[in-house]
Chain A
Amino acid sequence: MLKVYACITEQHDIVLVAVAAVLCAIGAHTTFAQLHLAGQGNLQHRLRWGAVAAVTTGVAIWATHFVAMLAFDPGVPSGYDPAGTVLSLLLPILLSGAAFAIALCGPGVPRALGAGALLGLGVGAMHYTGMAAFEVAGLKLWDHGTVVVSVVLGVALTMAALRLGLAAQGPGGRLGAAALLALGICALHFIGMGAVTILPDAGGVAPAGAVTRDRLAALVGFAAFCLLAASLAAAVLTSQSRRRRKAEAERFRALVDAAVEGLLICDGETIVESNSSAQALLGQDAQGLVGRSLAAVVQAGELRQALLDPAGTTIETEIDDAQGRPVAVELVSRSILHHRRPHQVIALRDLRDRRRAEERIRFLAHHDPLTRLPNRAGFADRLQRLREVPGRAAEPFALLALDLDRFKVVNDTLGHAMGDALLVKVAHRLRAAVRSTDLVARLGGDEFAVVQFAPGQPEAATALAERLIDLLSRPFLIDGQVLNIGTSVGIALQPQDGVDLAELARSADLALYRAKSEGRGTYRFFETEMDTRMQRRRLLELELRTALAMRQFHLLYQPQVDVDSTSIVGFEALIRWTHPVRGVVSPADFIPLAEETGLIIPIGEWVLREACREAAGWPGAPFLSVNLSPVQFRSPGLVEAVRSACALAGFDPRRLELEVTESVLLSDSTGTIETLRALKEFGVRIAMDDFGTGYSSLSYLRSFPFDKIKIDRSFVCDVTEDGETAAIVRAIIGLGRSLGMRTTVEGVETQAQFDHLRAEGCDQVQGYLLGRPLAPEAAAALLKDGQPQAAAA
């Protein structure tokens, strides 16, 4: 040890020794920086940076040696053998290369120690081959013990250095390892230098062929320094750019994963990237996608072709996820540059939510939300699609139109909630009554339809209709209440009653109309005759509208005569319709239809206006009777219509007498009675018409103070012969008198009838005996002339 110390202090230039140590330290640090970089990539990368590290390390050892040799003064001329010198450079490069190959091929302490030993041997090999190539004018004497010590210590230190450096996680560990390595190199060198003693050869000269020492050594040292610096700079820059690339890649991945849409990047057919949305959509992890063919995701070959076309495309399709479940997706593809090569990026948009929403909208549009039965649109659609099934287009079927009986009463009296609950139960029973191949729909309100596909008509439809009527006539229990409804059914058969749905539905509706008008709770098949009758009705309705516009109506006036004075006291206005082709049409033929269609309201108003206008200027101011239909009472404008008719004509309302039948009082009597009161307040008189027919309930007479009772013409024919009829007429006249109501008898045709009624105390009479209905001019003339032609006797 002393010898080594003396060697350094006495034979070396201490400044150059320091330079050698710094060079060694830089080299050692570079070695570990490069080894660290080498450990982070694929095999190719490892080999490349392993080789660079080997060259760096070899050069560092060698340069350290040379600079240290520059600091050494052997005290005799010296030089370098070129071949030995080159060999002393190659040996450490090769041995450190071998060491790094071992170290980089895998982890583990034995590998690190083995590699360290190889590296140490490399350092030793360099030193002693270098020393062999160092030629002096003298004799080199070796102390073999010291040589062994130098090698053992050098190897031990390089082993420790690699053990520490390869396991190091941070730069601190690597720095320590570099220091150990530098120490190992220096230790081997200077102990090795202590092992040699040079005996000068007196008068010796520098060996022939040897390169002069000083200049070359300085040059080599400088070049090695530059090389090491460049190598370190390369390692640092590479490491930085790798870190930057890694951060960029992480940013890119975060962005891609944040995308809601699934993204796949394909290189040809192979998937090279996927984001987390794509993985979630397809039920795969990244490993399950990357590296696989696009065929694993998009099964259809022609779709794949289209997607991989560089032009890009948009496709809506269904693909299977990892579990084989179908997923509705929209696929959008585009070409992009990825790693400087064209790739295809495919975006997967999940359409399942949208499809579900569309499905829901479709369901709502085609179904009644209450009963979940198809609605009118859904029914037509379903039937259409059933008929499009091959072989079913020609299959005959029956269309049953249902209308609930008494449903309106439930709805009006018990409320809509109860009505709705009832409809749900009705739907349930209808479903129970039909077979699965049949079709049930709610067309609206309390209208339902059933389509029955069955051979053997009309028997099958008959059985079904009976079943439906039976099921719906059974009681319904809702919230402890018992509700009894029922249904009427109209049946049309395809093809004889109609080919398309519209025609069949019309036929079934006609049959239903018949079933309802013939007692409800029953069914009717469509018959052609219904159709012609219905067409006649429609034509009549059309003509009635025309008649109103074309002024085809006119009024006649029938006198009403006071029984005692036999003078005319009033006229009843009667409507007539002169049809351009059919001539005069009786009111009995068109008033019912006018009431049904509501046309009675404008017609009634016209009658009021016309009668007031025509009778306004008649001499003697007789009263004027005008008939009102119950339908007119349902119109809110009745009182106003009467008021304006009088005002327009300047007609005194006290001359006006409105005749109503008891059916007016049958429905909604409070509203009706209010209307009657309002009319009476206005000054108009109210007469009960056709009394004795219908219910003739005495309570009607009590419910409103009528001014007059008109006894129906049916009583008049028998009044002279039939004792019972006579008794009824007598009773009504007596009743009227005691209630303060006058009585009029219609339809008086004979003198005997007149005499009888006069004897009974009737107030007024009307009939052919006393005067037929007259044109307005004739009526006015009659009033001017005085008396009616009959009854004076």
Chain B
Amino acid sequence: MASAIYRLIYRSVFAIPSEEAEAERELRAILDASRRNNAASGLTGALLHNGPHVVQVLEGPLAAIEAVFDRIAADVRHTAVELLQFAAVAQPSFPAWSMAYIPQGSVEELALLEPMRNPGGPEAIDAALATLSGALRRDD
């Protein structure tokens, strides 16, 4: 099934500058690049961050996901890279976002970061993603 949608969630510690404005700028730059690349390769997803802690959700064709993860896994600015989920899914959670950004301190982030930090199995992740995409839809 060539058109299967896969979902990959990883978390990592991203080495960003300690100065807050600069960190914000760099994160924005990464987000922009990621949105451009994702749109080109048919990927959607979301990015959560809390200080240097990053959780990213990627959804789309297998080859595109593997290519993005190859880049991340070879990127020395990331440390403690950990795969939280990698599986075929029936429905993408973020079909409308090339990369939804959930900023630090937002209500969604506070509600969802914890389940992402300590994922309690696929059901817990699915539940967290459903809440997250629901919250984003309400905002829209």
Contact = CB atoms under 8 A, between A and B. Distances in A.
Interface of A: 425, 428-429, 431-433, 467, 470-471, 474-480, 482
B79 to A, nearest CB: 6
A475 B9 CA distance: 12
Given A428-B70, A480-B62, A480-B88, A475 B76 contact: no
Interface residues of B, number: 16
A476 B73 contact: yes
24 contacts: A425-B70, A428-B74, A429-B73, A429-B74, A431-B74, A432-B75, A432-B76, A433-B74, A433-B76, A467-B76, A470-B79, A470-B81, A471-B73, A471-B76, A474-B73, A475-B81, A475-B86, A477-B8, A477-B69, A477-B86, A480-B6, A480-B62, A482-B83, A482-B86
Given A425-B70, A482-B86, A477 B75 contact: no
Interface in B63-98: 65-66, 69-70, 73-76, 79, 81, 83, 86, 88
Q: Which 6 residue pairs of A and B lie closest in terms of their CB atoms, listed nearest first? A: A432-B74, A474-B73, A477-B66, A429-B74, A474-B81, A475-B83
Nearest to A472: B73
A428 B70 CA distance: 9
A7 B6 CA distance: 121
Nearest to A433: B76
A655 B79 CA distance: 63
A432 B75 CA distance: 7
Contacts of A431: 74
B73 A475 contact: yes
Contacts of B69: 475, 477
Contact of A477 (B65, B74, B76): B65
- Which of A431, A432, A433 gathers most chain B CB within 10 Å? A432
Contacts of A475: 69, 73, 81, 83, 86
A431 B86 CA distance: 25
A414 to B, nearest CB: 16
A354 B62 CA distance: 43
Contacts, number: 38
Nearest to B87: A480
A433 B73 CA distance: 10
B116 to A, nearest CB: 17
Contacts of B79: 470
Contacts of A425: 70
Contacts of A470: 79, 81
Contacts of A478: 66
Given A432-B76, A470-B81, A471-B76, 20 more contacts: A428-B74, A429-B73, A429-B74, A432-B75, A433-B74, A471-B73, A471-B74, A474-B73, A475-B69, A475-B73, A475-B81, A476-B73, A477-B65, A477-B69, A477-B70, A477-B86, A478-B66, A480-B62, A480-B88, A482-B86
Nearest to B88: A480
A479 B83 CA distance: 16
- Which of A432, A433, A474, A482 gathers most chain B CB within 10 Å? A474
Nearest to A430: B74
Contacts of B65: 477
Nearest to B74: A432
Interface in B37-83: 62, 65-66, 69-70, 73-76, 79, 81, 83
A349 B82 CA distance: 60
A477 B66 CA distance: 6
A476 B74 CA distance: 10
A429 B73 CA distance: 7
A450 to B, nearest CB: 14
A482 B88 CA distance: 13
A425 B70 CA distance: 8
Nearest to B73: A474
B32 to A, nearest CB: 22
Nearest to B67: A477
Nearest to A467: B76
A432 B70 CA distance: 11
A723 B8 CA distance: 54
B11 to A, nearest CB: 12
A467 B66 CA distance: 21
